[in-house]
């Protein structure tokens, strides 16, 4: 187990706001991550006082506190990015600092540099002129391609190549120099209390990722409880008047029930592979994720009772990529994606989240996410294709998924 002398004095950081520290770390080229766990008001900011994120294997029980970020396609186990938790700050809802974990100490020159730059970033630099952007609707060039590959996938499923594949697409929009990522993060965190909201800056890649994920991949808390979930099946959560449809009025069709059952079965198969029978399974239940409802089943294991502390690492390597983002069976559906999807998903549908922060690990699937790079905001969304899929509806589903973020941050771009 890792042990570092951690400085927990508030003094140096007192009065600083997350957006000031965010901007300072970006300017200094330090990788950083800002996040909020589902149903929590506490926001955490992790800053890695190093030139880049290091690469590692996600052996969760052996890691020091940090933030992991993995691409969708790990090519049989490629390393994942690890943002070292040199400084981890916890902010209350009123943005005051609740806790500081500073592994380098207040005297460290990079810590001093960061704090003095953050102090000089005045909150008044926030642009007062709102940049309005009308989200374009209707058909785009890529709609045709997407619907064509959905039709191809349905044909492949009917020919028994696989049972399900999750096909994704992107949507590009420009963003202006006035764009304030930390402000967009707070808007999302407020709009989606149930989601894992995160903002990650990767200076080496010259990109930022903002997202509101509804799907936990692997969680392990300091009391030894391991959790994962199967999440699939999608329906609009609001009627045409914009009112939330009550959860209990939601009815699911055969397509969605089957699609989600495949994900649950996949998780159970992973447990079987390691001969683990002592898990609880709750669901499926209808769960809200932004502007959408999904079907969700929760799985839980007491790793202490089983004396199995490495379960989270083992399950991570078995689960990713799950059938909620790849397909069933995994190998032929992944092969189909690599050949047909036609673009690099990068970190979309990979996983990300804090590892060993206060003894807890919370890794989420990188869904409902947008990448900011070179003036282009790229939204990513996918839909589970089964033999009952209708290409037009799947496209519309991906539009709804893009809207999860767009609705909240369009005026910020
Ligand atoms: C692949 C995505 O969502 C997954 C998670 C929930 C429901 C899904 C679905 O209904 O297809 C997807 O499996 C995405 O948001 O890009």
ipTM of the complex: 0.98
CA distance 382 to 368: 9
Q: What is the DSSP letter of 248?
A: G
- Rounded to 10°, the helix 311-319/254-273 angle is 130
CA distance 249 to 13: 48
Strand partners, 379: 171, 370
- Rounded to 10°, the helix 141-158/330-340 angle is 150
Residues 6 or more apart in contact with residue 162 via CB below 8 angstroms: 156, 327, 328, 329, 332, 333, 336
> How far does the centroid of ligand 1 lie from the alpha carbon of residue 129, in Å?
35
> How far does the centroid of ligand 1 lie from the alpha carbon of residue 51, in Å?
34
pLDDT for residue 5: 65
- Rounded to 10°, the helix 181-191/391-409 angle is 110
> How far does the centroid of ligand 1 lie from the alpha carbon of residue 402, in Å?
11
Task: State the closest ligand 1 atom to the C-alpha of 232, by its place in the atom list counted from 1.
Answer: 7
pLDDT for residue 125: 43
Residues 6 or more apart in contact with residue 232 via CB below 8 angstroms: 256, 259, 260, 262, 263, 294, 295, 323, 324, 384
pLDDT for residue 17: 87
> How far does the centroid of ligand 1 lie from the alpha carbon of residue 65, in Å?
29
CA distance 68 to 16: 25
Report residue 360: phi and psi, to 5°: -115, 145
pLDDT for residue 66: 96
CA distance 73 to 85: 25
Cβ 49 vs Cβ 87: under 8 Å: yes
Task: State the closest ligand 1 atom to the C-alpha of 263, by its place in the atom list counted from 1.
Answer: 13
For CA atoms 97, 412, 349, 244, give the dihedral sign. Answer: positive
**Three-class HEC string of 134-201:** CCCCCCCHHHHHHHHHHHHHHHHHHCCCCCEEEEEEEEEEECCCCCCHHHHHHHHHHHCCCCEEEEEE
> How far does the centroid of ligand 1 lie from the alpha carbon of residue 168, in Å?
9
Task: State the closest ligand 1 atom to the C-alpha of 380, by its place in the atom list counted from 1.
Answer: 16
Burial 181-212 (b: 16+ CB within 10 A, else e): bbbbbbbbbebbeebbbbbbbbbebebbbbbb
CA distance 67 to 44: 11
Task: State the closest ligand 1 atom to the C-alpha of 234, by its place in the atom list counted from 1.
Answer: 10
- Residue of the CA atom closest to atom 10 of ligand 1: 233
Instruction: Give residue for tokens 């969304």.
Output: 381
> How far does the centroid of ligand 1 lie from the alpha carbon of residue 350, in Å?
13
The set of protein residues with a Cβ atom below 6 angstroms from ligand 1 is 166, 168, 215, 231-234, 294, 324-325, 367-368, 381-384, 401
| Residues of the chain predicted below pLDDT 50 | 1-3, 122-141
- Residue of the CA atom closest to atom 1 of ligand 1: 382
Nearest to 74 by CA among 325, 264, 354, 275: 325
Q: What is the DSSP letter of 63?
A: P
- Residue of the CA atom closest to atom 4 of ligand 1: 324
């Amino acid at each position: 187990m890792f042990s570092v002398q951690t400085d927990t004095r508030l003094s140096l950081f007192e009065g600083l706001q997350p957006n000031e520290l965010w901007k300072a770390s970006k300017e200094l080229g330090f990788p950083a991550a800002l996040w909020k766990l589902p149903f929590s008001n506490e926001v955490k900011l992790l800053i890695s006082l190093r030139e880049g994120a290091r690469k590692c294997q996600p052996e969760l029980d052996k890691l020091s506190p940090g933030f992991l970020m993995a691409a969708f396609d790990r090519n049989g186990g490629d390393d994942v990015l690890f943002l070292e938790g040199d400084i981890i700050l916890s902010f209350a809802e009123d943005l005051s600092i609740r806790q500081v974990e500073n592994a380098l100490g207040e005297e460290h020159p990079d810590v001093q540099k960061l704090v003095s730059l953050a102090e000089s970033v005045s909150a008044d630099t926030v642009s007062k002129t709102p940049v309005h952007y009308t989200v374009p609707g209707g058909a785009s060039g890529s709609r045709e391609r997407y619907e064509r590959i959905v039709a191809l996938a349905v044909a492949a499923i009917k020919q028994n190549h696989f049972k399900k594949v999750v096909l994704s697409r992107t949507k590009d929009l420009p963003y202006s120099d006035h764009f304030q990522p930390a402000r967009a993060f707070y808007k999302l965190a407020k709009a989606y209390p149930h989601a894992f909201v995160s903002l990650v800056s990767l200076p080496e890649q010259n990109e930022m990722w903002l997202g509101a994920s509804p799907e936990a991949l692997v969680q392990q808390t300091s009391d030894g409880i391991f959790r994962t979930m199967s999440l699939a099946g999608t329906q609009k959560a609001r009627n045409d008047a914009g009112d939330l449809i009550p959860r209990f009025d939601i009815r699911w069709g055969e397509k969605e029930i089957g699609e989600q059952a495949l994900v649950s079965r996949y998780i159970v198969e992973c447990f079987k592979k390691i001969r683990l029978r002592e898990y609880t399974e709750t669901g499926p239940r209808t769960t809200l994720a932004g502007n959408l409802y999904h079907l969700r089943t929760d799985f839980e294991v007491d790793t202490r009772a089983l004396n199995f502390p490495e379960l989270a690492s083992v399950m991570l390597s078995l689960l990713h990529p799950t059938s909620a983002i790849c397909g069933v069976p995994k190998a032929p559906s992944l092969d189909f994606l690599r050949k047909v999807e036609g673009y690099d998903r990068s970190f979309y549908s990979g996983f990300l989240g804090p590892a060993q922060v206060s003894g807890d690990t919370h890794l989420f699937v990188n869904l409902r996410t947008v990448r900011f790079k070179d003036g282009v905001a790229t939204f990513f969304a996918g839909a589970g294709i089964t033999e009952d899929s209708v290409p037009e509806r799947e496209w519309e589903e991906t539009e709804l998924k893009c809207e999860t973020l767009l609705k909240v941050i369009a005026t910020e771009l």
